[in-house]
Amino acid sequence: MEACGKILKKIIGGEKVNLSDKYPFMATIWYYEGNDFNFKCGATFIGRRYFLTAAHCLKNREQKKIIIKMGSCYLKKMPVLLEIERIFIHPDFVPSSLKNDIAILQVKEDIPPQYNFPVRLPCTHIQNYCYNIGHTVRVIGFGKEEDRDRAKFVEQLKEVDLRVKSMEESKYHKSMVTNDMFLAGGIKGNTILDSCTGDSGGPCLKFFHDCWVLVGIVSWGDSSGKKDAPGVYTKVLNYYYWIRSVCGFSHCNTH
Ligand code: 4AZ
């Protein structure tokens, strides 16, 4: 989380999360590489045996070489390990441009009841307002605190509040950012607030009335750390029917 950039190499914005039950739906994706599982991406538990993540977190991966871990705000202390039954990559996902960067993972077993607290999905156009410029959304993840290969993933879950940004506030060409994406970023003092490597696939949230709604998925960004290169997020609301067609449900929040 945070400074995917050059302005300040130390985290200032973004807070550590102490309670594991604050975001019980936060999940992580690990790849079997060599002879160990390595953390790669975030994911979000959406109900039954399903998790939502970014498609780019899964491409070229066999399902037997991926596991999901969840149940703690500490990366290395996740009590729940889940094997993958099936991977559903969005049929229109384009790896080169990250268009439709969304995928669903189905796990082999039920989530233990004490961890079975799915996020809500956005499902009505009433909720479209949270994508309006200037709106605040919250991103959580175990991603790096600086955009360097050698930087480590954080041990403890972090959260940061970001502002939905307009295309005019970014240097991105309009062909790069589709209607199914939105931009979010922030600044605190000298530090650019942003998601970073390892946050990909994880949740961008909005608290509606009494529960967390998954409004976005961390997708991409030009990590040069310039103020005009905010993080880009998949607009989950636009995939309501696809999610429903895969999972057979969509735990929506109709408020
Ligand atoms: C990444 O490489 C990544 N600042 C995640 C988020 C952003 C850029 C890159 C957005 O996983």
Model pLDDT for residues 212-221, shown as the tens digit of each residue: 999 999 999 9
**What pLDDT band is residue 61 in, cutting at 50, 70 and 90?**
confident
Any idea how long the chain is? Answer: 255
How far apart, in whole angstroms, are the C-alpha atoms of residue 190 and residue 187? 7
Instruction: Provide the 10 A C-beta neighbour count for residue 102.
Output: 26
| Catalytic residue of the set 20, 72, 200, 250 | 200
Distance 168 CA to ligand 1 centre (A): 20
- Supply the pLDDT for residue 176: 96
pLDDT in tens, 191-214: 889 999 999 999 999 998 888 999
Nearest CA owner, ligand 1 atom 11 = 197
DSSP 76: G
Paired residues of 42 in beta bridges: 28
**For range 12-40, the mean pLDDT:** 86
- Supply the pLDDT for residue 182: 98
Ligand 1 binding pocket includes 221 (Cβ within 6 Å):
yes
Distance 144 CA to ligand 1 centre (A): 9
Residue 250 has pLDDT above 70, yes or no: no
Is 224 noted as a catalytic residue in this protein? no
Nearest CA owner, ligand 1 atom 1 = 197
How far apart, in whole angstroms, are the C-alpha atoms of residue 50 and residue 43? 10
Ligand 1 binding pocket includes 234 (Cβ within 6 Å):
no
State if pTM tops 0.85: yes
Which domains does the chain possess?
6-17+120-237 (2.40.10.10), 26-118+239-247 (2.40.10.10)
Ligand 1 binding pocket includes 100 (Cβ within 6 Å):
no
Distance 85 CA to ligand 1 centre (A): 27
Instruction: Provide the 10 A C-beta neighbour count for residue 235.
Output: 21
Residue 164 has pLDDT above 50, yes or no: yes
- Supply the pLDDT for residue 255: 45
pLDDT top residue among 3 and 193: 193
With 0-12 / 13-18 / 19 or more C-beta atoms within 10 angstroms meaning exposed / middle / buried, residue 204 is buried
Please name the helix (run of DSSP H) or strand (run of DSSP E) that holds residue 242, with its range, or none. helix 240-247
Is 101 noted as a catalytic residue in this protein? yes
- Supply the pLDDT for residue 10: 34
pLDDT top residue among 80 and 63: 80
How far apart, in whole angstroms, are the C-alpha atoms of residue 235 and residue 36? 33
How far apart, in whole angstroms, are the C-alpha atoms of residue 166 and residue 164? 7
How far apart, in whole angstroms, are the C-alpha atoms of residue 225 and residue 4? 5
- Please provide the average confidence, as pLDDT, over all residues in the chain: 89
